[in-house]
């Protein structure tokens, strides 16, 4: 029978290691999510970079895909296909003739194989029927990509989405926003902690089994599993920013401040000389031009035109509200201004699905990092 004091000791050691791991994770997450406040409030996104690059710049990795897809929809390049209730399919369809950027094409290729044959095609056609699209072959319904349901190609996604995000990070470095190497100190420390616990734990488990102390072996195994769970909470490698990148983050911080304002404060800003989207004569200010508003007023009076311009601005900022975790209140304001009533439902369906996808991919990245550290340590011992 196992010694209660020994079991208690194993539990205390496991709890201590988990607390050390949580401390490392906590410090890393604080560093990852820190975005210094901006003195200037910005109501337009920065001109340089894409929504994906901006998301990586604010280290909102888990929200990047959701923001990118919503950005496609608000620009009229795609539409969401969701079915209410439970674990129903979630997909989006690229609009026919949409002018996609190279990055957007890259994203679509990372989400779904370009060629569907045999079993894959049959599964895809069944998934299309679930969202109300009945066709005879995959070629007849181009541009429909599933995130959840039978038509979601998870294996393809798990192999290609990390490469897509890595290419986006490489562009940030090539454009001078970030330094070439990310900061992975927290992952190295966690990997070494896990490696030490794993090696020691395996020795203890082997000894417990040889002495027929099965409860002790189970307790040690639980300790190792808990520490591995703590490891999965760690953020990915932290990008290191140049002066140009720091300025980009400052502008995004100003945009976050605008989205977080009370509605009346935002309205006053848009009515101020510095923040107006149109001149008193109805022409566009530089801000209105940057937003892409119609050069000529399309409403019958200035008040109605102001509401229409606010609608366009609110819609364009919806992807950024997702990056900053403010999509709930922003979607409600969008509906208040006349936006689609099912926007909030689509955001919930898409957000929960894609954030789960990225969480799994980040876990795989961390596992790869652990294996690299283990390999490096093993090679050091192998030289001796």
Tens of pLDDT, residues 131-140: 788 888 878 7
**Which two structure tokens, joined as six digits, stand for 137?**
């072959």
Q: Helix, strand or coil for residue 148?
A: strand
Predicted confidence (pLDDT) per residue in 214-271, tens digit: 887 888 888 888 888 888 888 888 899 999 999 999 999 999 998 888 777 777 888 7
**Alpha carbons 319 and 279: distance in angstroms, whole number:** 27
Helices 185-210 & 343-383 angle (0-180, nearest 10): 70
Mean pLDDT (the chain) is 81
Phi-psi region of 179 (alpha: psi -120 to 50; beta: other; left: phi over 0): beta
Predicted confidence (pLDDT) per residue in 327-360, tens digit: 777 777 666 666 555 555 566 666 666 666 667 6
Predicted confidence (pLDDT) per residue in 198-213, tens digit: 888 888 888 878 877 7
- Adjacent-strand bridge partners of 173: none
- pLDDT of 2: 59
Long-range contacts of 13-18 (CB under 8 A, 24+ apart): 13/223, 14/219, 14/220, 14/222, 14/223, 14/224, 14/226, 14/227, 17/193, 17/197, 17/223, 17/227, 18/223, 18/226, 18/227, 18/230
- Percent of all residues in the chain with a pLDDT value above 70, rounded to a whole number: 84
- pLDDT of 1: 44
Q: Helix, strand or coil for residue 235?
A: coil
Nearest residue to 154 via CA among 367, 353, 323:
353
176-180, 190-194, 230-234, 371-375: segment of lowest average pLDDT: 371-375
Task: Return all residues near 51 (Cβ < 8 A) that are at least 6 apart.
Answer: 45, 64, 67, 68, 71, 319, 320, 323
DSSP annotation of 226 reads H
- pLDDT of 383: 60
- pLDDT of 229: 85
Asked whether the CA dihedral 287, 168, 361, 148 is positive or negative, the reply is positive
Q: Quick check: 16 and 229 in contact, CB under 8 A?
A: no
- pLDDT of 382: 60
- Predicted confidence (pLDDT) at residue 91 exceeds the cutoff of 60: yes
Predicted confidence (pLDDT) per residue in 29-84, tens digit: 888 888 888 888 888 899 888 999 999 999 888 889 889 988 998 888 988 877 66
Residue 186, CB-side half-sphere exposure with 13 Å CA sphere? 26
- pLDDT of 167: 93
Which residue in this structure is represented by tokens 């550290």? 373
**Alpha carbons 121 and 138: distance in angstroms, whole number:** 6
- pLDDT of 148: 80
**Alpha carbons 320 and 334: distance in angstroms, whole number:** 13
> Which of 75-79, 102-106, 186-190, 273-277 is most confident?
102-106
- pLDDT of 299: 62
Q: Quick check: 93 and 143 in contact, CB under 8 A?
A: yes
- pLDDT of 228: 85
- pLDDT of 50: 93
- pLDDT of 384: 54
């Amino acid at each position: 029978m196992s010694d209660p004091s020994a079991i208690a000791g194993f539990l205390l050691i496991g709890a201590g290691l988990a607390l050390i791991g949580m401390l490392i994770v906590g410090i890393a997450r604080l560093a990852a999510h820190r975005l210094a406040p901006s003195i200037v409030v910005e109501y337009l996104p920065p001109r340089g970079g894409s929504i994906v690059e901006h998301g990586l710049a604010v280290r909102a990795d888990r929200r990047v895909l959701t923001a990118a897809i919503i950005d496609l929809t608000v620009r009229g390049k795609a539409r969401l296909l969701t079915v209410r209730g439970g674990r129903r399919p979630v997909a989006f369809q690229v609009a026919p003739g949409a002018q996609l950027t190279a990055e957007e094409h890259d994203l679509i290729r990372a989400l779904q194989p370009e060629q569907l044959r045999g079993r894959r095609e049959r599964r895809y056609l069944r998934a299309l029927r679930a969202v109300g699209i009945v066709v005879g072959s995959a070629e007849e319904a181009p541009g429909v990509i599933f995130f959840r349901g039978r038509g979601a190609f998870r294996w393809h996604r798990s192999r290609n989405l990390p490469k897509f995000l890595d290419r986006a990070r490489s562009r940030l470095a090539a454009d001078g926003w970030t330094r070439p190497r990310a900061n992975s100190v927290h992952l190295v420390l966690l990997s070494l902690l896990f490696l030490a616990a794993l090696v020691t734990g395996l020795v203890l488990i082997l000894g417990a089994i040889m002495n027929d102390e099965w409860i002790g072996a189970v307790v040690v195994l639980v300790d190792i599993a808990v520490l591995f769970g703590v490891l999965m909470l760690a953020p990915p490698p932290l990008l290191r920013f140049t002066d140009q990148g720091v300025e980009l983050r400052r502008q995004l911080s100003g945009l976050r401040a605008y989205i977080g304002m009370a509605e009346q404060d935002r309205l006053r800003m848009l009515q101020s000389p510095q923040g107006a989207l149109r001149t008193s004569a109805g022409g566009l200010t530089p801000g209105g031009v940057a937003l892409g508003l119609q050069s000529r007023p399309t409403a019958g009076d200035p008040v109605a035109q102001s509401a229409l311009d606010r609608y366009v601005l609110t819609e364009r900022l919806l992807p950024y509200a997702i990056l900053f975790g403010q999509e709930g209140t922003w979607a409600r304001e969008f509906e208040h201004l006349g936006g689609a009533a099912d926007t909030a439902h689509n955001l919930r369906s898409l957000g929960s699905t894609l954030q789960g996808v990225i969480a799994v991919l980040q876990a795989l990245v961390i596992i790869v990092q652990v294996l690299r550290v283990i390999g490096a340590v093993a090679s050091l011992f192998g030289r001796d």
